[in-house]
Chain A
């Protein structure tokens, strides 16, 4: 029988939540790597037993873990991330030049075709690739060496490369996003990059429509329509229908268009989910009510999804990597909160139930659909 495995990264370890296709009863495994910050855990779409986890600590730095048996056992792999050449400087918060320094791996994106190939998005922003299952890493330095690189500035959470999207129809095309440089696209498998930020407006910037400098929080894509992208920017929910060449605001009737996460229904490319957060000063839901908003029209028209979610006294946040969808016939939607809850909707968002209530603050949520 088919089932799902939810991979949860938290401030104090990783947790694996498994269920059958009903997604009603769950087994909880963890904490794995207890006490460590687990920024991201993601499985290979080629081999679901292959899972990668980014394990990090302010004391001990970066560790990379790999499982080859679906998360039952783990082994440490390579954690050496050396920038290509002399890395130079980017801008610091105060506008002064600041040297590029590796801090941690924010996001792991396993290849769509090779189980041993995986991409890593790091802070300070750069893209690395491993073709040996995480044992060794090489920077795809064309991104960081883009002419705009010396002008990139960190967002409040650091200058992180947090989003990596691989085009399933064009192996040469990939997208990344950096806080607070913006979105970039490569059409040559990561060798060269172009900023794709036209249409974004960020009023806090000296030039609100500058080519780079936008605080993109997350980008999502449906595999059947990879030229259509959805973006949760710092403020504003955006959409592009030409692979990021031009963006249009689709915030529509959202109560606030600040937020972090965004994702797309597994079988409906125009059905999109966001979790509105009050503002960049108030990182919790409006009115203390946790609401996922769903648009079935690719944006602009949004409906609040509340059944099973707390509608009073709720002041959690949902971070950028903490939402995922499964690929079962009845698409399941998942998200984790900074309050330690992981919610599942087995019916595309109509109803919700907490799988777990009291984990450490959730940094990331991914889901594997198991046959």
Chain B
């Protein structure tokens, strides 16, 4: 992937964050440069500031414990947030899935 290219990526948010941001099941964002979890979450928060703090802690930038990042059927939650995501995500063929853990009652 080119570091200078602009990529149009797709992101699927969990139900409650869609409602908070008042968006549908999937959003599209433009990412300049490398497509990583960090660059996508940065773009999500910039476009939808009401989501600040709901995906990752505002101060530490740590992923909230009950959220996971999936792409191309792989769990990227424990990879470096600066790791480049698969080309299919950068090309918009596959979305980054932000998934809430199935837990609680």
Residues of A within 8 A of B (CB): 34-36, 57-63, 76, 79-80, 82
Q: Is the CB of A82 within 8 A of B16?
A: no
A325 to chain B, nearest CB (A): 33
Question: Given contacts A79-B53, A80-B58, are A59 and B20 in contact (CB under 8 A)?
Answer: no
**Whole-angstrom distance between the alpha carbons of A146 and B20 in the complex?**
37
Within residues 1 to 32 of chain B, which ones have a CB less than 8 A from any CB in chain A?
14-17, 19-20
- New A-B pairs, 19, CB < 8 Å, besides A57-B16, A59-B16: A59-B14, A59-B64, A59-B66, A59-B100, A59-B101, A60-B14, A60-B17, A60-B100, A61-B53, A61-B64, A63-B20, A63-B50, A63-B54, A76-B20, A76-B49, A79-B58, A80-B52, A80-B53, A80-B59
**Whole-angstrom distance between the alpha carbons of A34 and B104 in the complex?**
16
10 A-B residue pairings within 8 Å (CB atoms):
A35-B15, A58-B66, A59-B101, A60-B14, A60-B17, A63-B53, A63-B54, A76-B49, A79-B52, A80-B59
**Whole-angstrom distance between the alpha carbons of A325 and B29 in the complex?**
49
Query: Which residues of B lie under 8 Å from residue A59 when comparing CB positions?
Result: 14, 16, 64, 66-67, 100-101
**Whole-angstrom distance between the alpha carbons of A210 and B15 in the complex?**
47
Closest A-B pairs by Cβ, 5 of them: A76-B50, A60-B54, A59-B66, A59-B100, A79-B53
A36 to chain B, nearest CB (A): 7
Residues of B within 8 A of A (CB): 14-17, 19-20, 49-50, 52-55, 57-59, 64, 66-67, 100-101, 103-104
Q: Is the CB of B16 within 8 A of A36?
A: yes
**Whole-angstrom distance between the alpha carbons of A57 and B66 in the complex?**
10
Q: Which residue of A lies closest to B15 (CB)?
A: A35
**Whole-angstrom distance between the alpha carbons of A80 and B61 in the complex?**
12
Query: Which residues of B lie under 8 Å from residue A36 when comparing CB positions?
Result: 16
**Whole-angstrom distance between the alpha carbons of A79 and B59 in the complex?**
11
**Whole-angstrom distance between the alpha carbons of A209 and B57 in the complex?**
39
Query: Which residues of A lie under 8 Å from residue B50 when comparing CB positions?
Result: 63, 76
| Residue of B16, B49, B100, B103 with most chain A CB atoms under a 10 A cut-off | B16
**Whole-angstrom distance between the alpha carbons of A58 and B101 in the complex?**
10
**Whole-angstrom distance between the alpha carbons of A35 and B20 in the complex?**
11
| Residue of A60, A63, A80, A82 with most chain B CB atoms under a 10 A cut-off | A60
Q: Is the CB of B53 within 8 A of A82?
A: no
**Whole-angstrom distance between the alpha carbons of A60 and B66 in the complex?**
8
| Residue of A34, A59, A79, A82 with most chain B CB atoms under a 10 A cut-off | A59
Query: Which residues of A lie under 8 Å from residue B14 when comparing CB positions?
Result: 59-60
**Whole-angstrom distance between the alpha carbons of A98 and B67 in the complex?**
24
A288 to chain B, nearest CB (A): 24
B77 to chain A, nearest CB (A): 14
A33 to chain B, nearest CB (A): 8
Q: Is the CB of A58 within 8 A of B59?
A: no
A88 to chain B, nearest CB (A): 16
| Residue of B54, B59, B67, B101 with most chain A CB atoms under a 10 A cut-off | B54
**Whole-angstrom distance between the alpha carbons of A49 and B64 in the complex?**
34
